[in-house]
Structure 1
Amino acid sequence: MAEQDDVADSPTGWVAKHVQRYVASNGRNGHIWYGKPTLLLVTTGRKTKALRRTALIYGEDGENFVVVGSNGGSDDHPNWYLNLRAEPRVQVQVGAERFEAVARVASGDERDRLWEQMAGIFPQYRSYRKKTKREIPVVVLQPTHA
């Protein structure tokens, strides 16, 4: 995974602080956030090609990790999601473990199943869905080291 100096953290202040605590402690401080598991996702900027890092609540599906592009129920997709749509190869940190993965958007029955799983982990996703007309994407991160 890229060194911290090579990566721009989320422009959202509280997210950037969470990411910095996570990185500084090698995942010991930040992996569990308010009782929810979180990972760090590094995407490549679709316009700048710069590395961008954010923290996201995650679930697991076999060897894969699952995240939700809720953006708090905004009508716009989060930038990290737009970035991985342009370049699906990403870097992930879960606790102290760092690895590369390929991202894909779940659809159909898989999406429905994973949506329910993620809403069980973070029930606010259900209220976010009511705030927007867009379909909130469910993203599967498949490690490439398997």
Structure 2
Amino acid sequence: MAVKDSPTGWVNEHIQKYVETGGAEGHEWRPGVFTLLLTTKGRKSGEMRRTALIYQRAGDDYVVVASQGGKPQHPSWYLNLAADPVVDVQVEADKFQARARTAGPDERDRLWKLMNEVWPSYADYQKKTDREIPVVVLEPIKG
């Protein structure tokens, strides 16, 4: 099935470079800031949709933030994974399936701090919105 990439211009360009180079270009988005590609199944369309997200490792898991720059609504990719938590992930050239889940309160605090260390703007995004910005854990599916 064909994958639709983010319609946001600069994100789309980032994804294309990432895919074309197996992450050699795009994995390190800015100095010390690394990205992965997340593909979710559209909850309404059923289409596969891909976006690039800043991530951090937490043990064997990958952590991402559904910030959408502090907009009042959750990003589409987050709504998609809430409907179908099995997602495709690419980190550099490594591609795998993962099960996505929203971090619970205690875990969220720890992971929120972890993510803010690499991207301090998340704290500013949280101030712009009344919604609690979700922290998402991507657990690779073994086997």
TM-score bracket for the superposition, by shorter chain length: over 0.9
Q: 1:58 aligns with which of 55, 60, 71?
A: 55
2:139 corresponding residue in structure 1:
142
What residue in structure 2 maps to residue 78 of structure 1?
Answer: 75
Alignment-mate amino acid for residue 25 of structure 2: N
Residue 17 of structure 2 is matched in structure 1 by 21
Runs of 4+ in 1 over 6 A off after TM superposition: none
1:1-146 to 2 correspondence within 5 Å? 6-35=2-31, 36-145=33-142
Letter in 2 for 1:128: Y
Percent of aligned positions with the same letter in both sequences? Answer: 56
Q: How much does 1:145 deviate?
A: 2.0
C-alpha distance in 2 between matches for 1:11 and 1:80? 12
Distance 2:119 2:129 in 1: 17
Q: Is the 8 A contact 1:99 1:145 kept in 2?
A: no
Secondary structure at 2:37's aligned position in 1? strand
Residue ranges of structure 2 left out of the alignment (5+ in a row): none
Give 5+ residue unaligned stretches, structure 1.
none
Helix, strand or coil: the match of 2:49? strand
Normalised to the residue count of structure 2, the TM-score between the two structures is 0.97
* Structure 1 residues 15-36: Cα deviation after superposition (integer angstroms, max 9, x where no partner): 0000000000011000000121
CA RMSD in angstroms, aligned pairs only: 0.9
SS in 1 for 2:14: helix
Deviation at 1:107, TM superposition (A): 1.2
Tell me, in whole angstroms, the C-alpha distance in 2 between the residues paired with 1:94 and 1:101. 12
Q: Give the SS at the match of 2:13.
A: helix
Residue identity in the other structure for 1:37: F
